[in-house]
Structure 1
Amino acid sequence: MKTSDFDFHLPEELIAQTPVEPRDSSRLLVLDRERQTVNHKIFHDLPGLLKAGDLLVLNHTRVLPARLIGVKQETEAKIELLLLRREERDVWEVLIKPAKRLKIGNKVLFGEGMLAAEVIEVLPDGNRKVRFQYEGVFEELLDCLGRMPLPPYIREQLEDQERYQTVYAKESGSAAAPTAGLHFTPELLAKLQERGVETAEILLHVGLGTFRPVKAERIEEHVMHSEYYRVLPEAAEQINRAKAEKRRVIAVGTTVTRTLESIADAEGLVRAGEGWTDIFIYPPYRFKAVDALITNFHFPKSTLVMLVSAFAGREFLLQAYETAVRERYRFYSFGDSMLII
């Protein structure tokens, strides 16, 4: 298929710059694949749209304050560093701006030397591997010195850094938020539990490859980024029990979808474990584990809109996106949401 098959017109003013309050007051576009209908709801209507026995699968990753601003030790030139992936204890793959200023052996200082990063390798794609040097606990220094790595299309300052975390975020490691989960509140999760909706938690650390554009003319030629996942035995057991009992498994976000589809067998049963996934889902694709999907609105021609097109049907999804644009829904990370059943 052509990348252009997943293009659509999006007015720039519909790109949400700030989150709505409260979280669950965002709009919710409900797509019924069987009836081919679209309905307009509010996210706090979700308990009435789900059924007792439905299993919501959440990604409890937490976004690192992964953006560090420092100076090159030798020249005091300003350097911006973005943590991408932890290779070992103090060695990280990072994105550096401006990269051309840093060669192997150069150091960047943060917080007047509280934290230092020495370049130890230049990677083929221009990224660097650095080794951090510090005294104390790295995570505490990062909380003190780092900033939230908001996507490039968000130009407004975020006053509350926790607003770019889900309320159930636990384990740090992501360079971006699993944004489909940003709409949940503790109160809404409690109402869903009262409704008889179960929840299971898995982990996938979101990488910046999420925002990487598809440059290939044909989507089959695109090289997908890899991301770390972990599914504990308890979560796998919950998912497999739901599948065995013909209850719906509802993925909260494309990160959960990619994880479950990576580890599911032909019957939709999943295995506990951890690893790296670079699964690229696009039409036609037969979903094995996921029965319904909660997701935000995505970039034109992105791997995410391709995944959702595979789930909803490309023409139906693009028609729904046209409706969302016409009705002035808000797009991307701080935007509104979709429920696809």
Structure 2
Amino acid sequence: MKTEDFDFKLDPAIVPHDPVELRGKTRDGGKMIVLDRSVGKIEHTSVSSICDYFRPGDLLVLNDSYMLLNMLEFKHGDGTAQVSVYGYEPGNICVVGIEAEELLVQAGLVLTSMDNNKLTLHIQEPHPDHTGKLWRAKFEPFDLLVSTLEQHGQRLDKFSLLHTTYWKTAPQAYRSVFAKKPGSLQIPSAGLHFSRESLAEATAKGVEIAYITLHVATAGSLMDRKIDEENIEDHKVGSEYYEISEIAAGQVSQAKAEGRRVIAIGTTVLRTLESLVDSKEPGAAFRAKSAWTDLYIYPGFHFKVADMLLTSLHHPRSSHLVLVAAFGGKDLALRGYSEITDKGGYEFDSFGDCMLIV
């Protein structure tokens, strides 16, 4: 399938750089386009009406990860460096960018954190997909990385347009209201559309809620997961770490056994749920698991868990858009995006509007 099929013109002016609350809006006050696969219908409404599409007994699955500050200062001898974490890979490998005028950055270099001298960084090799820009490296001990970033980190993004001042003054605006676990290096954005009131409305309607964790953190996210290959089948996505508890696994198993709908809030949740199916015996219950997934979903994929999807509006030629086309049906999904761009008034990406596929 040709990648150019998923291309369209996106005006940078409709890609906001700041969360809705910092622009005088409410979380559930944005626009929402609804794709109804059963009848091929498209509806334009608002996020505040999302509970109208839920039924008693539905299982709403939310990602409780939130985005970390990503930059720390390190030293080697008399030289200092700004180290920005841009992604994780299996085996406790991190993808980092290093700004150091006084140091020769090369494989084998060991740096020590200026905030916690127990934390060191060991440079492994240039990242093959970003030679000259990014490095593969190991933080030792790895368990100290998140806590040190939480306490001392700053936000430095060479590849995105986040407002660093707001990060310091209003960090909660960049997190979902249910976020509990730090670890993502990009924002799990679909959850931002829920207010506490809309979640309360859902539970009052009889909707059950489950929480899973997937840390959005691959080097591919630096370029909006853009697909450069001519054919989408030739693309690969980076691995991301996920956790599903025994409680959440049981909730999903019971919902599927009882024929209740499972609603994935975000592509991260969708990938996690479908990855669980790939790793279990047919007919077996879902189990608690912590693992990495490199599942790449594109048209032709057979979904076995998720029945509905809420997701942000994605960039052209991106793996996110291809996933949406797989779930919603290519023709209906692309028709939806065509209506969005023709109609106008919609905003894209993490702080923009959203799409619900039923």
TM (normalized to structure 1)?
A: 0.88
How far apart, in 2, do the equivalents of 1:223 and 1:160 lie?
Answer: 35
How far apart, in 2, do the equivalents of 1:142 and 1:31 lie?
Answer: 39
How far apart, in 2, do the equivalents of 1:170 and 1:256 lie?
Answer: 15
| Aligned counterpart, 2:293 | 277
Residue 102 of structure 1 deviates from its aligned partner by 1.0
Please give the secondary structure, in 1, of the residue aligned with 2:190. Answer: helix
How far apart, in 2, do the equivalents of 1:226 and 1:287 lie?
Answer: 19
Contact 2:121-2:139 at 8 Å conserved across structures: yes
How far apart, in 1, do the equivalents of 2:159 and 2:107 lie?
Answer: 28
Question: In the alignment, is residue 310 of structure 1 matched against residue 314 of structure 2?
Answer: no
Q: Which moved more, 1:188-197 or 1:122-131?
A: 122-131
Contact 1:102-1:119 at 8 Å conserved across structures: no
| Aligned counterpart, 1:102 | 105
Task: Give the % identical residues.
Answer: 36
| Aligned counterpart, 1:179 | 189
Question: In the alignment, is residue 62 of structure 1 matched against residue 78 of structure 2?
Answer: no
Aligned counterpart in structure 2 of residue 297 of structure 1, from 303, 310, 313: 313
Residue 197 of structure 1 deviates from its aligned partner by 0.8
| Aligned counterpart, 1:82 | 85
Please give the secondary structure, in 1, of the residue aligned with 2:38. Answer: coil
Contact 2:18-2:162 at 8 Å conserved across structures: no
Structure 2 matches for 1:217-232, cutoff 5 A? Answer: 217-232=230-245
How far apart, in 1, do the equivalents of 2:309 and 2:109 lie?
Answer: 46
Please give the secondary structure, in 2, of the residue aligned with 1:304. Answer: helix
| Aligned counterpart, 2:136 | 128
How far apart, in 1, do the equivalents of 2:249 and 2:119 lie?
Answer: 40
Structure 1: any 5+ residue segments left out of the alignment? none
| Aligned counterpart, 1:23 | 27
How far apart, in 1, do the equivalents of 2:351 and 2:314 lie?
Answer: 11
Question: How many residues of Structure 1 are paired with residues of Structure 2 in the alignment?
Answer: 337
Q: Which moved more, 1:232-241 or 1:286-295?
A: 232-241
Change in 2 beyond 3 A, CA 1:113/1:231: closer
| Aligned counterpart, 1:43 | 47
What one-letter code is carried by the residue in structure 2 that aligns with 1:44?
S
How far apart, in 1, do the equivalents of 2:291 and 2:119 lie?
Answer: 29
Please give the secondary structure, in 2, of the residue aligned with 1:257. Answer: helix
CA deviations 1:278-308 (Å, max 9, x no partner) are 1111011221101000000111111110010
Change in 2 beyond 3 A, CA 1:80/1:141: closer
How far apart, in 2, do the equivalents of 1:167 and 1:205 lie?
Answer: 16
Contact 1:105-1:118 at 8 Å conserved across structures: no
Contact 2:119-2:145 at 8 Å conserved across structures: no
Question: In the alignment, is residue 245 of structure 1 matched against residue 258 of structure 2?
Answer: yes
How far apart, in 2, do the equivalents of 1:112 and 1:65 lie?
Answer: 14
Aligned counterpart in structure 1 of residue 148 of structure 2, from 141, 154, 179: 141
Contact 1:53-1:247 at 8 Å conserved across structures: yes
Please give the secondary structure, in 1, of the residue aligned with 2:20. Answer: coil
Q: Which moved more, 1:103-112 or 1:297-306?
A: 103-112
Change in 2 beyond 3 A, CA 1:278/1:137: closer
Q: Which moved more, 1:162-171 or 1:328-337?
A: 162-171
How far apart, in 2, do the equivalents of 1:184 and 1:150 lie?
Answer: 26
Change in 2 beyond 3 A, CA 1:66/1:335: same
TM (normalized to structure 2)?
A: 0.84
| Aligned counterpart, 2:12 | 12
How far apart, in 2, do the equivalents of 1:137 and 1:97 lie?
Answer: 19
Residue 336 of structure 1 deviates from its aligned partner by 0.7
What one-letter code is carried by the residue in structure 1 that aligns with 2:348?
F
How far apart, in 2, do the equivalents of 1:132 and 1:169 lie?
Answer: 27
Residue 43 of structure 1 deviates from its aligned partner by 1.4
Please give the secondary structure, in 2, of the residue aligned with 1:23. Answer: coil
Residue 316 of structure 1 deviates from its aligned partner by 1.3
What one-letter code is carried by the residue in structure 1 that aligns with 2:208?
E
